Structure 1
Amino acid sequence: MISDRKLEHLRICKHHDVQYKNKRTGFQDIELIHKALPEIDQKEIDLSCKVFGKKLESPLFITAITGGHPAALKINRRLAIAAEEKKIALGIGSQRAAVENPQLRDTYTVARENAPSTLLIGNIGAPQIDYANKAIEILDADILAIHLNPLQESIQPEGDLNAKNYLQSIENIVNDVDVPVMIKETGTGVSSTDAKAIEDTGVNFIDVAGAGGTSWAAVETYRSKDKYLGELFWDWGIPTAVSTVEVSQNVNIPVISSGGIRSGLDAAKAIALGADAVGIALPMMQEAFNGVNEIINYIDKFNKSLEIAMFLVGASSIEELKNADLVIKGETKEWLNERGFNTKKYARRK
């Protein structure tokens, strides 16, 4: 059952190390250029941004990871309370379970009940055209995310391995719903080619969800009796920093950078590479097991470290941060150069 699987996912993410082993996000190869003369007042730095008409106090999305089991209700309530207080966006895990089993609706509706003004993001799979409007209604969602998870499906014992006509399904959903649509990967990244194909369907947002954070191959490895495939593909994917560049340079729609982002410094690097916002999932869920205050403390530390990073590059707003000078080094530079991207353009943009 879907509900049982969701509970297993929660338990595994709480009790096991499900992050990438040997592949990192690539942000360790990104060096923001320090300004000894920032010429701004740190106290006047503005972290806010606007997404589809809603103002967020920082460019942080709590991205989808929970829902579909009674145990998730408490987690989603705490995440919603924190998101509402800190005025950031909140994504919820796949709503397929609630569409198919109305008894699970409250594990999702609890979000809007506790976050009446928050930017809420619903979630369905690409083939689930018939679920789209129902998912939006259940959550009272401002945005609908369509998740892409071919790696997870490949490792999952009960995975759906038919990925034919995904683009057509996405386009049909875009045309059928009345809210903006976001495409989000689930931890293995999006290439420039796929990003352009996605944009052509009419979607409004892409969350790259690159490699280096949570590995869903790892999560499914803990569920599987045969560990071979999960361990073999544990580190599969496009590193988040690479995917952020590939997507942002190839589309004209907003981009969220997620996948292993753990601090405001990571976020500053992602935004300077071209992202409009960033997402964090696993650490938020882990803090939610402890309580609302722990989530809020994490958000406060994130915002403070982002503010300091912006001060040190002389950026008083998120838009100014997008033009901060940086150097791309190491494997990330090698990867991007081999893919035909000019990494030098970031070094002297001002």
Structure 2
Amino acid sequence: MTSERKSQHLDIVLEGRAAGNGKTGLDSVLFEHVALPDLHLDAIDLTTDFLGRRVALPFLVSSMTGGPARAAGINANLAAACQAAGVALAVGSQRVALETGDAGGLDHSLRRAAPDIPILANLGAAQFNLGYGTDHARRAVEAIEADALIIHLNPLQEALQPEGDRDWRGLLAKIGTLARDLPVPVVVKEVGAGLSGRMAGLLANEGIGHFDTAGAGGTSWAAVEGARTTSPRDAAIAAAFADWGIPTATALRQIRAACPDSTLIASGGVTNGLDAARAIRLGADLAGFAAPLLVAAIKGPDAVAEVFAVLEGQLRVACFCTGSRDLAALRKAALL
């Protein structure tokens, strides 16, 4: 059932039935144009450090998934392209792999294809109220030789799924236990409704130092679940929440203020390199992309590489036209 549901999710996103309202708030970040940049465009340094590795671009391929048969090809294409471009890669949920043994490409072959980039494992928070524990988390990390484990938070999506996980009591403390027990960092992310500064602060008190906003404005998982259901009642409930959540720009500002020393990934409706520049200016360390890469990830690594080239070019021009010689300078670029 889980594999089929994830495959349905993939189809709905590909068919364009999952788009949010696009109101990420990032377009409110207006850079002052620098008419005389004292720079050479090609010399701008876009490298950064993430999870102990140097990456060529401040991008993360955010978690994407599908049924295991489809996921294997997607994961292989993404791994090859990310290795070539020097981009970090986060995998989709490993629940199916852990419970059925059908890895969908989420095994040691992933690290063999991408030996030099940060790779992030992924499990849903709700599973830790359904029998999962530190051992499951370790298995997810070891299966792909990951540099970190993402714990994704999706209470809205679970509430709207007929088969969703309803019991979310006590999960904050359990996430804290994982952060203390695992040998790699734990990253906490939402899946499209945003992470608030207040919640990030509570998680920081439990030892979490890495966050992914996954704010509102991009893919709407309420719309996805509304498209899946055959019940008019459930569809009507889901429809009311199609635009629910904290816009990505707001989440970024809040989390950076609440957790100034944390590592912060901006995702949720980040569609191009200019959006990435805006997010970095608001305090992000990396920008996460999912839906903009999905079609390319199905086609092959060359198609993904072309998307990366466009994103890099857009970010590089944004740095050039703000007079920013590197990412540190971009974080201080003048705004209107």
**Pairing 1:2–2:11 present:** no
- Which position in structure 2 is the counterpart of 1:234? 242
- Which position in structure 1 is the counterpart of 2:290? 281
**Pairing 1:139–2:138 present:** no
Cα separation, 1, equivalents of 2:310 and 2:133: 39
Structure 2 letter corresponding to 1:195: A
Q: Post-superposition, which runs of at least 4 consecutive aligned residues in structure 1 deviate over 6 A?
A: none
Structure 2 letter corresponding to 1:246: Q
3-state DSSP of counterpart to 2:105: helix
Cα separation, 1, equivalents of 2:23 and 2:66: 27
Structure 1 letter corresponding to 2:103: R
Cα separation, 1, equivalents of 2:66 and 2:208: 24
What is the CA-CA distance between 1:67 and the residue it aligns to?
A: 5.2
| Equivalent pairs, count | 325
Pair 176,6 (structure 1): closer, same or farther in 2 beyond 3 Å: same
The correspondence of residues 55-94 of structure 1 with structure 2, limited to 5 A, is 55-66=54-65, 69-94=68-93
Structure 1 letter corresponding to 2:322: V
The correspondence of residues 90-109 of structure 1 with structure 2, limited to 5 A, is 90-102=89-101, 104-109=102-107
- Which position in structure 2 is the counterpart of 1:206? 211
Q: CA RMSD in A?
A: 1.3
Structure 2 letter corresponding to 1:117: D
- Which position in structure 2 is the counterpart of 1:334? none
Contact 1:95–1:124 (CA under 8 A) maintained in structure 2: yes
Instruction: State the Cα deviation string for residues 137-157 of structure 1 (Å, max 9, x = none).
Output: 111111100000011111111
- Which position in structure 2 is the counterpart of 1:123? 122
3-state DSSP of counterpart to 1:194: helix
- Which position in structure 2 is the counterpart of 1:297? 306
Cα separation, 2, equivalents of 1:298 and 1:78: 13
Instruction: State the Cα deviation string for residues 40-66 of structure 1 (Å, max 9, x = none).
Output: 221210000001220010100001021
Instruction: State the Cα deviation string for residues 11-40 of structure 1 (Å, max 9, x = none).
Output: 22222331113x511112110111122212
The more displaced of 129-138 and 41-50 is 129-138
Contact 1:68–1:95 (CA under 8 A) maintained in structure 2: no
Cα separation, 1, equivalents of 2:70 and 2:285: 33
3-state DSSP of counterpart to 1:289: helix
What is the CA-CA distance between 1:173 and the residue it aligns to?
A: 0.7
Instruction: State the Cα deviation string for residues 221-240 of structure 1 (Å, max 9, x = none).
Output: 11111311221111100111
Contact 1:151–1:217 (CA under 8 A) maintained in structure 2: yes
Cα separation, 2, equivalents of 1:106 and 1:239: 32
TM-score, normalising length: structure 1? 0.90
TM-score, normalising length: structure 2? 0.94
Contact 1:24–1:211 (CA under 8 A) maintained in structure 2: yes
Contact 1:208–1:255 (CA under 8 A) maintained in structure 2: yes
- Which position in structure 1 is the counterpart of 2:198? 193
- Which position in structure 1 is the counterpart of 2:34? 35
Unaligned runs of 5+ in 2: none
Unaligned runs of 5+ in 1: 328-350
3-state DSSP of counterpart to 2:65: coil
Instruction: State the Cα deviation string for residues 280-304 of structure 1 (Å, max 9, x = none).
Output: 0111122112222111111000000
Contact 2:71–2:104 (CA under 8 A) maintained in structure 1: no
The more displaced of 126-135 and 204-213 is 126-135
Contact 2:56–2:87 (CA under 8 A) maintained in structure 1: yes
3-state DSSP of counterpart to 1:206: strand
The correspondence of residues 171-182 of structure 1 with structure 2, limited to 5 A, is 171-182=176-187
Structure 2 letter corresponding to 1:56: V
